[in-house]
């Protein structure tokens, strides 16, 4: 089967588009719709999946979960009416409010990193958890107990200054070997099988395949909830205006 074309990588604002049904299968008692291309974001990179509907004149499919495996995006859910067959033309519609919240939270995680970098704290970025139930980013680094509160305030202040400056988000596709030219940090591991993409906030680049705001002012504002030391790792918990 041909790999699913990931339209959200090229246009993160696209919430409705056409596609063609490649296959409809049952996996572990759940219905899976596979398309030639999609705007639905599959869970990964610390960001949860999109939800929404896939429909045409004869059927409507509720998308409850989206996963990516071996180059194929699996839209998992249930038919509300009718059925699709291979070759059917359909329309994808992503749930707007869910996507926008996830994009704001994900971008805010990178803004926190921009603030950490601007403050010269010297922490090395690790994984991010950009879920609404308690987003955070991790770093290799240390901080003394008596510095935590001031540093938390400094990061929050700088992050909101960056948000208010409202840099535009642009996208660049490039080989991993060239990412160091525009990125402050490039992790050793990047997912195989997906186009290599850098998200640019002004001149600050981050290797990332998630969805993001069109300009940083769309985040509105953010808070740094806590800085916690866990061994040699720091966890910076944050949130966005809801």
Could you say which of 2.40.50.140, 2.40.30.130, 3.90.1150.10, 3.40.50.1820 is the CATH number of the domain covering 5-94?
A: 2.40.30.130
pLDDT one-digit tens code per residue, 158-177: 999 999 999 999 999 998 88
Cα 192 vs. chain centroid, distance in angstroms?
16
The answer, yes or no, to whether residue 114 has pLDDT greater than 90, is yes
The answer, yes or no, to whether residue 193 has pLDDT greater than 90, is no
The answer, yes or no, to whether residue 54 has pLDDT greater than 90, is yes
DSSP label at 44? B
The mean pLDDT of 49-67, rounded to a whole number, is: 98
Q: Please check whether residue 64 is in contact with residue 76, taking contact to mean a CB–CB distance below 8 angstroms.
A: yes
Of 5, 32, 30, 8, the residue nearest 19 (C-alpha): 5
Strand-pairing partners, residue 163, are none
Q: What is the pLDDT of residue 191?
A: 66
Alpha carbon dihedral 142, 118, 168, 239, in 10-degree steps, equals 40
Q: How many CB atoms lie within 10 A of CB 175?
A: 7
Share the mean pLDDT of the chain.
Answer: 95
Sequence ranges of the domains in the chain: 5-94, 99-240
Q: Are strands 37-38 and 124-129 parallel, antiparallel or unpaired?
A: unpaired
Question: At residue 58, what are phi and psi to the nearest 5 degrees?
Answer: -110, -10
State what percent of residues in the chain have pLDDT above 90: 92
Could you say which of 3.30.1330.40, 3.40.50.2300, 3.30.980.10, 3.40.30.10 is the CATH number of the domain covering 99-240?
A: 3.30.980.10
The answer, yes or no, to whether residue 118 has pLDDT greater than 90, is yes
pLDDT band at 192, cuts 50/70/90?
Answer: low
The answer, yes or no, to whether residue 49 has pLDDT greater than 90, is yes
Q: Write down the residue that tokens 């296959």 correspond to.
A: 23
Q: What is the pTM of this model?
A: 0.95
């Amino acid at each position: 089967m041909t790999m699913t074309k990931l339209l959200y990588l090229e246009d993160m604002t696209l919430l409705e588009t056409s596609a063609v049904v490649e296959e409809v299968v049952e996996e572990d008692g759940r219905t899976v719709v596979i398309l030639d291309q999609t705007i639905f974001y599959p869970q990964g990179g610390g960001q949860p999946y999109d939800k929404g509907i896939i429909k045409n004149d004869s059927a409507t499919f509720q998308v409850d979960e989206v996963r990516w495996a071996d180059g194929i995006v699996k839209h998992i859910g249930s038919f509300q009416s009718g059925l699709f067959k291979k070759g059917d033309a359909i329309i994808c519609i992503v749930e707007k409010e869910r996507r926008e919240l996830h994009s704001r939270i994900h971008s805010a995680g990178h803004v926190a990193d921009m603030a950490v970098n601007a403050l010269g704290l010297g922490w090395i970025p690790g994984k991010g958890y950009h879920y609404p139930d308690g987003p955070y980013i991790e770093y290799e680094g240390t901080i003394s107990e008596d510095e935590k509160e001031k540093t938390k305030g400094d990061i929050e202040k700088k992050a909101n200054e960056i948000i208010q400056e409202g840099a535009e988000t642009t996208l660049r596709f490039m080989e991993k070997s060239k990412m160091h030219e525009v990125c402050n940090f490039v992790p050793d591991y990047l997912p195989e099988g997906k186009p290599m993409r850098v998200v640019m906030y002004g001149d600050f680049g981050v290797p990332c395949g998630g969805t993001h705001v069109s300009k940083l002012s769309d985040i509105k504002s953010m808070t740094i909830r806590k800085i916690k030391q866990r061994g040699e790792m720091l966890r910076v918990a944050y949130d966005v205006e809801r």
